[in-house]
Amino acid sequence: MNDTAIITGGAGFIGSHLARRLHDSGREVVLVDNLATGRLENVQPLLDRGVRLIEGTAAEVLSDSAVFDGVSEVYHLAAAVGVKLIVDDPAGMIATNIDDTIAVLRACAAAGAAVLVTSSSEVYGKCPVLPLREDMDLVFGPTTASRWSYGLTKALDEHLAIDLARRDGLKAVVVRLFNTIGPRQVGRYGMVVPRFVSRACAGQDLDVYGDGEQTRAFCDVRDVVRALTDLMACGDAFGRVFNVGHDRRITIRRLAELVLERAAAAGRTGGAIRTLPYEAVYGEGFEDPPHRLPDVSRLREAIGWTPAFSLEQTIDTLIADECSGGTLVPDNDAASTPGERVKESEKA
């Protein structure tokens, strides 16, 4: 019986939580990660329990049909990560996101494996209407603003998956993730919550970009991976697109205040809130959507999903981890210590 799941980007923040959920449910799990942004320490406990990690890009690893022996489904999470990386290297990000997705989709179609493609709220671009629904028009800025390149690549990924689902019968589902947060996320790539938590716990000032009145909705990674596995188990989900995120939004300034309040309650006195212009962080011409909020009614109707964790609960977990030297890592964390893994170049 085919009961193995492959996770591309499996050593990353979301991938490692998904791997734990699948492994705990009794599944065989194979992780694929080139460790460019994924981290061995995220998955070392799972490797010690029999989960296998193949080191390489998704395109490299899944080109070998033998990898699909016993595999029934693939979760394609591998992608460029974070706004800062997008701004610093848009060409590299475009190649990674599109080339890997093409390779993954073709490999899954050939192997008869179902596939979940993780897209992003970035596909909505500057769409001004809230909440954001899956059938809305996508509104992007000019090609001279590199910020929009990420959303464009994810939109193309969606087109590829949906076309193969319609034309060739590929069992593919697309999810648009909205600001997933939780243990093992790092602030190095511009992720705001771990950045705020690590600085608050260190007694440092929290930097808010822009005027701080932009709003976002943050969803705990444990709720997100539950949605991913439930969608893959739902036959009606194939060929469709789903928003996955919390439907409570908060200003970034209020988020900073909340982190400072929760850190103080845990005995850590943070610094002040500072406001920095976007240009000081990302360079001239950077654009940021003022508001993002998902409509998750389609997700609720399909699988009965509602988030179990509040923003406060997740922040408290992150603060506790930071105070104990746990899963959060500072922006300049050291390189991972090599563990049990298989490099693509070393496979038989």
The CATH code of the domain that includes 167 is: 3.40.50.720
- Quote the tokens at residue 280: 């000081």
CB count in 10 Å sphere of residue 153: 26
Residue 274, classed as helix, strand or coil, is: strand
pLDDT digits (tens, 9 = 90+) for 311-340: 999 999 999 999 887 544 433 333 333 333
- Tell me whether residue 35 is in a domain: yes
Q: How far apart are the C-alpha atoms of 286 and 128, rounded to whole Å?
A: 18
User: Among 150, 189, 209, 282, which one carries the catalytic annotation?
Assistant: 150
Backbone angles phi, psi at 105, to 5 degrees: -65, -45
- The pLDDT assigned to 278 comes to 85
What average pLDDT does the segment 218-227 reach?
A: 98
Residue 321 falls inside a structural domain: no
Question: Structurally, how many domains does the chain consist of?
Answer: 1
Find the domain containing 115 and state its range. 4-182+219-248+292-308+333-346
Pairing relationship of beta strands 215-217 and 342-343 according to DSSP bridges = unpaired
Q: What is the mean pLDDT of residues 106-123?
A: 97
**Assigned domain for 198 exists:** no
Q: Is the pLDDT of residue 18 over 80?
A: yes
- Residue 79 domain-assigned (yes or no): yes
- Annotated active-site residue 150? The verdict is yes
For the segment 205-211, the average pLDDT, to the nearest whole number, is 95
Question: Which pLDDT tens digit goes with each residue over 257-295?
Answer: 999 999 999 999 878 999 999 888 877 777 889 999 999
